[in-house]
């Protein structure tokens, strides 16, 4: 795969064998799918979060920005990107994943939500956490945005203007905050430093984030950023694709609202688990995605898919003895059964 716009990963070599089980959180039944991939044995930079050793890459989404109620929506991971953080001197943790929530498609206007329309979270090498959230009308009410702006005005006084936006920043005991807003949009960024090891200068990062985010806002909304793995793992379905609208409808046929919010977890690195150290030194990647309905009135229901990816067949066999056969990700199937009033959703799918 050629280098992508936001971060190119080293090539991944190998084959995959595996069985998948999808679970949803509202009813509590779950399982884990297993996929095999070959990853470079020598990843010297992964210890300190060197982006050149990452096995995942981030790239712009396909097509135009998604819309809610006919209005294009900003994506949190497009406002603060992996490569952007790297250019600011921030390296990401080898032990944590990027988490990303966003619309899963264009959605007609419905009852406004009190939750952000998009979020993105990065854990840094020194255990600092960068959280980005986007609140935007008409997904959120004007009252919600006014409340967030008023809060930033009080805590971040004096408010300044930049690129047609209001900007405020402030410090709390264990966190740094930046808010950027206008009448229709509030972007909130926090840097949690409670567990920081002091690996970099916090103030310097926050000062660099402000112009970076302002420039991304000025460029306009874009499609949600994609998080993918290089060939041959590009043949494995994104867990948010497996947690499809069709699978959600089968699980919750009478659910309120649109099942159009997805929340994915994408690890950057492929560490060797403690259980493998000195044994087979196999590497593992764990991906997941949750699809939820947009509602502030009815119950919020969530469908979740987890994938466990190994670099060697013997490791998969050790930890997942039921893994057998070869399944194509393009042939993922979803079935629903009822046992003791509990719905069970299973899917099988992997690349070969």
Q: What is the pLDDT of residues 143-158, one digit of tens each?
A: 999 999 999 999 998 9
At 228, phi and psi to the nearest 5? -140, 170
- Write down the H helix ranges in the chain: 76-79, 82-87, 142-155, 202-218, 239-242, 245-251, 313-319
Same domain, 205 and 104: yes
* C-alpha closest to that of 131 among 144, 146, 118, 140: 118
Q: What pLDDT, on the 0 to 100 scale, is given for residue 111?
A: 80
Same domain, 188 and 110: yes
Same domain, 217 and 346: no
Residues 6+ apart with CB under 8 A from 164: 182, 218
Residue 107 gets which letter from DSSP?
B
Same domain, 297 and 349: yes
**Statement: residue 164 has pLDDT above 90:** yes
For residues 23 and 306, the answer to whether their CB atoms sit within 8 Å is yes
Higher pLDDT: 27 or 262? It is 262
Q: How many residues does the structure list for the chain?
A: 352
Same domain, 211 and 234: no
Same domain, 246 and 296: yes
Same domain, 217 and 244: no
Q: What pLDDT, on the 0 to 100 scale, is given for residue 196?
A: 67
Higher pLDDT: 241 or 138? It is 138
Q: How far apart are CA 53 and CA 44, in angstroms?
A: 7
Same domain, 173 and 320: no
Which of 184, 209, 224 is the last residue before a domain boundary? 224
**Statement: residue 341 has pLDDT above 50:** no
Q: How far apart are CA 167 and CA 186, in angstroms?
A: 10
Which of 175, 191, 224 is the last residue before a domain boundary? 224
Same domain, 133 and 238: no
Neighbours of 142 (CB within 10 A): 12
* Average pLDDT value over all residues in the chain: 75
Higher pLDDT: 204 or 284? It is 204
Cα–Cα distances (Å) from 54 to 45, 60, 267, 271, in that order, read: 8, 17, 9, 10
**Statement: residue 179 has pLDDT above 80:** yes
Q: What pLDDT, on the 0 to 100 scale, is given for residue 70?
A: 96
304 is written with which tokens?
């979740």
Degrees (nearest 5) of the Cα angle 135, 140, 146? 75
Q: Is the pTM of this model over 0.85?
A: no
Q: How far apart are CA 340 and CA 28, in angstroms?
A: 13
Q: What pLDDT, on the 0 to 100 scale, is given for residue 156?
A: 93
Which of 224, 249, 278 is the last residue before a domain boundary? 224
Task: Return the residue matching tokens 């959230």.
Answer: 133
**Statement: residue 328 has pLDDT above 60:** no
Report helix, strand or coil for 171.
strand
Q: What pLDDT, on the 0 to 100 scale, is given for residue 282?
A: 74
For residues 281 and 272, the answer to whether their CB atoms sit within 8 Å is yes
Q: Quick one: what percent of the chain has pLDDT higher than 70?
A: 69
Q: What pLDDT, on the 0 to 100 scale, is given for residue 41?
A: 38
Q: What pLDDT, on the 0 to 100 scale, is given for residue 201?
A: 77
């Amino acid at each position: 795969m050629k280098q992508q716009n936001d971060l190119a990963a080293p090539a991944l070599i190998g084959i995959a064998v595996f069985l998948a089980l999808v679970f949803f959180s509202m009813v509590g039944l779950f399982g884990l799918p297993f996929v095999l991939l070959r990853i470079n044995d020598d990843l010297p930079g992964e210890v300190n979060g060197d982006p050149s050793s990452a096995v995942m890459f981030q790239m712009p989404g396909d097509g135009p920005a998604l819309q809610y109620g006919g209005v294009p929506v900003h994506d949190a991971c497009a406002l603060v990107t992996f490569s952007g953080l790297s250019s600011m001197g921030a390296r990401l943790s080898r032990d944590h994943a990027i988490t990303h929530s966003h619309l899963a498609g264009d959605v007609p206007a419905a009852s406004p939500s009190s939750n952000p329309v998009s979020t993105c979270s990065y854990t840094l090498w020194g255990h600092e956490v960068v959280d980005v959230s986007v609140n935007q009308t008409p997904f959120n009410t004007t009252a919600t945005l006014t409340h967030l702006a008023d809060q930033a005005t009080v805590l971040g006084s004096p408010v300044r203007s930049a690129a047609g936006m209001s900007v405020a920043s402030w410090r709390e005991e264990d966190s740094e905050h930046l808010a950027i807003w206008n009448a229709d949009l509030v972007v909130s960024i926090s840097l949690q430093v409670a567990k920081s090891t002091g690996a970099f200068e916090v103030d310097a990062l926050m000062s660099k984030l402000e112009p970076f985010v302002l420039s991304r806002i000025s460029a306009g909304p874009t499609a949600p950023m994609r998080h993918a793995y290089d060939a041959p793992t590009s043949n494995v379905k994104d867990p948010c694709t497996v947690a499809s609208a069709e699978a959600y409808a089968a699980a919750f046929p009478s659910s309120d609202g649109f099942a159009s919010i997805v929340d994915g977890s994408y690890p950057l690195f492929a560490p060797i688990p403690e259980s493998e150290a000195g044994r087979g030194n196999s590497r593992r990647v764990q991906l997941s995605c949750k699809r939820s309905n947009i509602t502030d009135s009815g119950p919020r229901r969530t469908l979740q898919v987890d994938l466990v990816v190994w670099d060697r067949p013997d490791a998969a066999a050790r930890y997942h003895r039921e893994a057998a056969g070869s399944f194509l990700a393009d042939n993922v199937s979803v079935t629903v059964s009822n046992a003791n009033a509990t719905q069970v959703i299973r899917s099988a799918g992997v690349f070969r």
